């Protein structure tokens, strides 16, 4: 009986843990028949709590973005800019002024493109300066983080599993230890009563109590306390691992949530992307107008004012599209992206801020995954425990 009770405790915990995260998509016939992992099913609520903690307490997005030096970033973009200007300029001039472009000798074409490319870094620096003055106008960081979690529900799974891995393993092991203790009591009661209900009742008791106790031991007490006349010192496992948890959490945030490519994608496709397009169009327009100089009225006259404006708008859109192009389909932006990641310093910022949290604030990093739905985990453990208890009874009757 003690062995089977330990088995019940361990298996029910493993099943309950997996039911937190799997399946990622609903499996069955909604709304009653089927199951979806608690974390992916509640990605909006849990993700919202996590993002509120991240942006409200751990980092200030505006401060992060202000760390980027426009001059250094522009220098990293110099070669990609030259390639982009060549590609975009060639395509658009052939599209909007095909006859003039064909008439120009190769040397004149190259000279024109080099002159535009020489002005591009200045335009990028000016654009970044405008962006740095008011980044909230162009980037909704909260919407970006929530969208990333909603688009890939596995990210929130990994965030919680990576950060709380030791605690989840403790929950499973606790079922083994507590189940063994309760199983000894179960054997004693059975030996005295031979009551059939002892099996399912104790099975349910093992599943319910060990889940509840394990969850409490993860988070409480928040500060180290002494028990048994000071002989035993104990602190909630999650609180005790604060330094390690901060490192793990910061790494996942930097690698999967607030990454440079995802920031760029949010700038280009987020709810405020139209403002960024308008900003880029304004700076591209300045470059084109400055390059044409005194010849600008003649160009406008030859192609028409509407097509001239369309030309500049098209150039701005093509420039933004290159930023979001798949690897190998556009200019090499890796050096610039690497610089941006290092300059932003998301991981070290999150780690430092997490280590400064109060115990209650620190608990909120993992607690939202359990708090509202932990009763479901405890109930599942009790139901599974009762079922296995019935199997125990069948084994005893068989003998």
What SS3 class is residue 394?
A: helix
Q: Is the pLDDT of residue 353 over 70?
A: yes
Q: Torsions phi, psi of 220, nearest 5? A: -125, 150
Give CA 176 to chain center in angstroms. Answer: 33
Q: What is the DSSP letter of 191?
A: H
CB-based contact 44:310 (threshold 8 Å): no
pLDDT band at 239 (very low <50, low <70, confident <90, very high): confident
Q: Which helix (H) or strand (E) holds 393?
A: helix 374-398
On whether the CB atoms of residues 187 and 1 are closer than 8 A, the answer is yes
- Tell how far CA 202 is from the center of its chain: 41
Around 61, how many Cα atoms within 13 Å sit in the side-chain half-sphere?
Answer: 24
d(CA 354, CA 251): 12
Beta-carbon contacts of residue 265 (< 8 Å; ≥ 6 apart)? 324
DSSP three-state, residue 353: helix
pLDDT at 293: 55
Using the predicted structure, report yes or no on whether residue 343 has a pLDDT greater than 80: yes
Q: Are 205 and 385 in contact (CB under 8 A)?
A: yes
Q: Is the pLDDT at 124 greater than 80, yes or no?
A: no
The CB-based long-range contact list for 146-149 (8 Å cut-off, 24+ gap) reads 146/44, 146/47, 146/48, 146/51, 147/266, 147/270, 148/256, 148/257, 148/262, 149/43, 149/47, 149/50, 149/51, 149/257
pLDDT of residue 220 exceeding 50, the answer is yes
Q: Whole-angstrom Cα distance, residue 125 to residue 258?
A: 23
Percent of the chain at pLDDT above 70? 78
Q: What are the strands, taking DSSP E only, across 112-244? A: 225-227, 232-234
pLDDT digits (tens, 9 = 90+) for 267-311: 777 888 778 777 777 777 776 666 555 445 555 555 556 666 676
User: Which has the higher per-residue pLDDT, 171 or 255?
Assistant: 255
pLDDT for residue 272: 82
pLDDT of res. 294: 46
pLDDT of residue 9 exceeding 60:
yes
Q: Which residue has the tokens 């162009």?
A: 138
| β partners of residue 234 | 225
Q: Nearest to residue 385, comparing CAs of 6, 2, 8?
A: 8
């Amino acid at each position: 009986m003690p062995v089977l009770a330990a088995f019940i405790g361990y298996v029910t915990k493993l099943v309950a843990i997996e039911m937190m995260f799997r399946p990622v998509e609903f499996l069955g016939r909604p709304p009653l028949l089927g199951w979806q992992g608690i974390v992916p099913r509640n990605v909006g609520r849990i993700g919202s709590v996590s993002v509120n903690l991240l942006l409200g307490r751990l980092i200030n997005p505006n401060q992060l973005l202000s760390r980027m030096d426009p001059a250094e970033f522009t220098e990293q973009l110099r070669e990609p800019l030259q390639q982009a200007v060549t590609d975009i300029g060639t395509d658009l001039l052939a599209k909007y002024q095909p006859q003039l472009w064909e008439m120009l000798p190769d040397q004149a074409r190259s000279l024109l493109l080099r002159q535009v490319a020489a002005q591009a870094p200045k335009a990028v620096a000016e654009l970044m300066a405008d962006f740095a003055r008011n980044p909230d106008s162009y980037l909704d960081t909260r919407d970006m983080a929530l969208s990333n979690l909603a688009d890939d529900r596995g990210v929130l799974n990994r965030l919680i599993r990576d950060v709380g891995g030791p605690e989840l393993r403790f929950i499973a092991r606790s079922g083994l230890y507590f189940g063994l203790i309760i199983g000894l009591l179960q054997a004693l009661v059975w030996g005295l009563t031979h009551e059939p209900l002892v099996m399912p009742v104790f099975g349910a008791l093992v599943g319910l109590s060990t889940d509840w106790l394990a969850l409490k031991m993860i988070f409480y007490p928040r500060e180290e306390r002494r028990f048994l006349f000071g002989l035993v010192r104990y602190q909630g496992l999650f609180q005790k691992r604060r330094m390690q948890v901060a490192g793990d959490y910061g790494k996942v945030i930097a690698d999967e949530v607030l990454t440079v490519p995802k920031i760029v994608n949010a700038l280009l496709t987020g709810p405020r992307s139209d403002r960024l397009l308008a900003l880029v169009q304004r700076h591209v327009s300045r470059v084109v107008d400055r390059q044409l100089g005194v010849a600008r009225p003649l160009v406008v006259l030859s192609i028409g004012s509407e097509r001239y404006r369309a030309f500049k708008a098209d150039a701005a859109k093509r420039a933004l599209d290159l930023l979001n192009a798949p690897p190998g389909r556009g200019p090499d932006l890796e050096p610039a992206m690497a610089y941006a990641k290092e300059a932003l310093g998301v991981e070290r910022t999150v780690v430092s801020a997490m280590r400064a949290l109060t115990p209650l604030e620190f608990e909120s990093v993992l607690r939202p995954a359990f708090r509202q739905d932990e009763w479901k985990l405890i109930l599942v453990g009790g139901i599974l425990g009762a079922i296995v208890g019935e199997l125990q009874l069948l084994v005893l009757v068989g003998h």
